[in-house]
Chain A
Amino acid sequence: MSPLHTPLHPRRRGVAAAACVAATALVLTACSDDGETGGGADDPIVVGISLPLTGDFSEPGKGVQRGYEAWAEFINEDGGLLGRQVELKILDDQSSADRVVQDYEALIAQDEVDLVFGPFSTRLVVPSARVAEEYGMLYVEPAGAANEVFEQGFENLFYAAPAVADDHYNYLAEQILAMPDGERPQTVAVASMDDPFAQGTAYGLRDKLAEGGLDVVVDEVYPPNTTDFSSIAAKIDDSGADMVIGGTQYQDAVNLIVALQQLDYQPQLAAFSTAPTNPEFADAIGDKTEGILSPTGYTETASWPSNVDFVKRYTELHGNPPGEDEANAYTTGQVVAAAVEAVGCAEQGECQQQLIDWLRENEVDTVVGPLTWDETGKPQGAHLIQQYVDGEIQIVLPKDAQEAELIHPKPKW
């Protein structure tokens, strides 16, 4: 871990200033900002980040944190950015939109960070992107994949992953629709968390299948804090759908699958977003994973030059290869670093607009492959489809990246 990196004790000055507010307005003048100003050749480049380290999104949030930390560490080992060391300033937003705005406000206005990276989850990306925009900061984010993010008219936002949520299942949809009549599932049951990302993935697939002539027989939405899935599972079971699609994060997928198992519901195809790529997933559902499908934007075995290096160094550091969250965070770092190196500056003000303009025009090589963006910041790519085959999660689609054959129909769970 970099010696400069201080994730747990952020903004002493902020605390001092807040304490001043607490004490009385009278002493506020004593709290005036006498702190650092960036720009000196030897000063570190400070990157401000707010992540959900507690609350609903804390599992993926910690993954993103590991990815950012790995990026900063590797880049510092390689001599830094523009010859300056990189320092991360990570705050916890408790998965709360109120908090994330306050955090970015503090990072930009009070701590005067040189760059900002995005937080996790679409719900937190939109409010914080607005803060960044109003301060004119470049805003590259690792996790706001839902369409909604790109409909807000942000001019400073770039999503550092291959595809937006709606397109995650594109390869799977093509594959299913190309199946011969006898094999192709006829009915689909959909259950999704009321969350822009989760719904984006599930509804992208649902709509493509519905257009292709499949019947959507169950279409359920549940709020993020749902823990009892027995009635949703009962409905899916009762419909006898051939295929089940779960627009899920992590725990809800586990609960839904266990509830379906309790009812002994056996679909031909089962696709869930996010959860199956989590290393603890297999344990959590009692190792009955065989045949479960999931989209992913990242595979550790991809042969992109920077990925080989990233996987090797990350594995040396942590003892296990990076997952999707880590890779997306690392990608964010790579995208910003590419812009910074090309433009030759990293500070607030004019520089940020130059970085934004550069990214609009150029392609960046990352661990998830080369990325380009349209004018809304949407990446122009597609996700891979993974499936549990022989107890391992492996790439099954598209054909040219395949590690194993797609199993259909899925074995019993």
Chain B
Amino acid sequence: MTGTLLFQSLVLGVLLGGLYALLAAGLTLYFGVMRVVMIAHSAFLILAAYLAWFFHQQTGMDPMLSLVITVPLFFAVGVGMQRLLITRLRPATITMMSVLLTFAVALFIEGMIGFVWGGTQRRIQLPYSGDSVSFFGAQIAVVKLIAFGLAALSLAGLYLLLKHSRFGQALRATIQHREAAQLIGIHTNRVAGFGFGIGLATAAVGGTALSLDATIYPSLHWHWIGPLMAIIVVGGLGSIPGAAIAAMILGIGQSLLQVPLGTTWAQTIFYVALFATLMLRPQGFFGGRLAQRF
């Protein structure tokens, strides 16, 4: 292994970690507000990628413009899902049953994508698909850079929203102690719905970023949900900073391990980290009180 290859892998890892971080933040947000493991998160991710592809196919415009449509659309779908589906479940069994319900949603999306657009692999061919910029000896594809930029911007936006807005305070209060949040007059119900919508909006951004430089097919979401779930457990269920940090570390780790181990074995890092976390620190490495008993 040469130094250049190592550095190249490190850069690729950071770029990948950025995307993981955004998506894991969304996944952990659902858990925070509703105690729901949202299996369909990555299915929505792939759906957004398909919508970007379809948009590009139909209009010939840059797929990133599809964000104007998909982000509000996914936000609305998220709010609707929380209101119409999740709240129908019996509270006593919500954690287990919501897994099955969102699993069903994931299957539904996968099936409909296959039905509407066929089972073949799709890829967006852009004029700048093969372009790259040189960065201290590493070649960075322009499309990967744009994808990372999108993810980083959204993550920064999410951070600002949560830290510095009234809504963000209400959301964090809801995550930390729902009953107490209610007592001080927060409409936790509405907040939870918006939380769901924001989570799904991250999937819309992530999917568009993904579509720039990846081949997509209907069942691709299974390859994303595993790593993402591992990330949120390692980071501590419900903790957004924890998810982001774990995503970055594991993304870089995966990329570096690909050099000696190959792509397939490198992916096992997520599951090794998951099992190690459960044996050593079931509440996650960055999670707070919330994660302890889940």
Contact = CB atoms under 8 A, between A and B. Distances in A.
Interface string B236-276: 00000000000000000001001100111010000000000
A251 B259 contact: no
Contacts of B262: 220-222
A191 to B, nearest CB: 10
B231 interface: no
A227 B220 CA distance: 9
Contacts of A58: 118-120
Contact of A231 (B2, B9, B130): B9
Interface string A253-286: 0110011011110000000000000000001111
A113 B174 CA distance: 64
B214 A264 contact: no
Contact of B125 (A54, A230, A283): A283
- Interface-central residue, A220, A227, A230, A250, by most chain B CB under 10 Å: A230
Contacts of A225: 219-220, 223
A222 B258 CA distance: 11
B132 A262 contact: yes
A286 to B, nearest CB: 6
Contacts of B129: 258, 262, 286
Contacts of A285: 125, 130
Contacts of B144: 230, 262
Interface string A108-134: 000000000000000000000000000
B4 interface: yes
B214 A235 contact: no
A235 B120 CA distance: 28
A54 B223 CA distance: 19
Contacts of B131: 262
Contact of B139 (A226, A258, A262, A288): A262
Contacts of A413: 130
B142 to A, nearest CB: 8
A183 interface: no
A228 interface: yes
A97 interface: no
A251 B121 contact: yes
B143 to A, nearest CB: 8
Contact of A223 (B2, B9, B121, B264): B264
Contact of B8 (A222, A232, A238, A261): A238
A286 B263 contact: no
Interface in A90-107: 94
Contacts of B139: 237, 262-264
B107 to A, nearest CB: 15
A261 B258 contact: no
B292 interface: no
A223 to B, nearest CB: 6
Interface in A207-263: 220-223, 225-228, 230-232, 234-235, 237-238, 250-251, 254-255, 258-259, 261-263
B5 interface: yes
B232 interface: no
Contacts of A59: 120
A66 to B, nearest CB: 15
Contacts, number: 88
B260 to A, nearest CB: 10
Nearest to A220: B262
B190 interface: no
Interface size class of B (residues with CB under 8 A): 35 or more
Contacts of A286: 125, 127, 129-130
A228 B5 contact: no
B12 interface: yes
Given A231-B263, A238-B5, A254 B130 contact: no
B264 A284 contact: no
Contacts of B157: none
A288 B264 CA distance: 29
A53 to B, nearest CB: 9
- Interface-central residue, B4, B121, B258, by most chain A CB under 10 Å: B121
A360 B291 CA distance: 69
Interface in B68-124: 114, 118-121, 123
B165 interface: no
Contacts of A262: 129-132, 139, 141, 144
Contact of B130 (A223, A228, A235, A288): A288
A201 to B, nearest CB: 20
A344 interface: no
A258 B263 contact: no
A55 interface: yes
A28 B97 CA distance: 36
A250 B123 CA distance: 12
Contacts of A235: 5, 259
A227 B129 CA distance: 15
B182 interface: no
A272 B279 CA distance: 45
Given A231-B258, A231-B259, A238 B119 contact: no
Given A222-B262, A283-B125, 12 more contacts: A227-B214, A231-B12, A231-B259, A231-B263, A234-B12, A250-B121, A255-B123, A255-B215, A258-B130, A262-B139, A262-B144, A286-B127
Interface of A: 54-55, 58-59, 94, 220-223, 225-228, 230-232, 234-235, 237-238, 250-251, 254-255, 258-259, 261-264, 283-286, 288, 413
21 contacts: A222-B263, A225-B219, A226-B263, A227-B121, A227-B215, A228-B214, A230-B12, A230-B144, A231-B263, A231-B266, A234-B8, A235-B5, A238-B8, A262-B139, A262-B141, A262-B144, A263-B139, A264-B132, A285-B130, A286-B129, A288-B130
The 9 closest A-B pairs by CB, nearest first: A261-B130, A231-B258, A262-B141, A54-B119, A238-B5, A251-B121, A227-B215, A263-B139, A262-B132
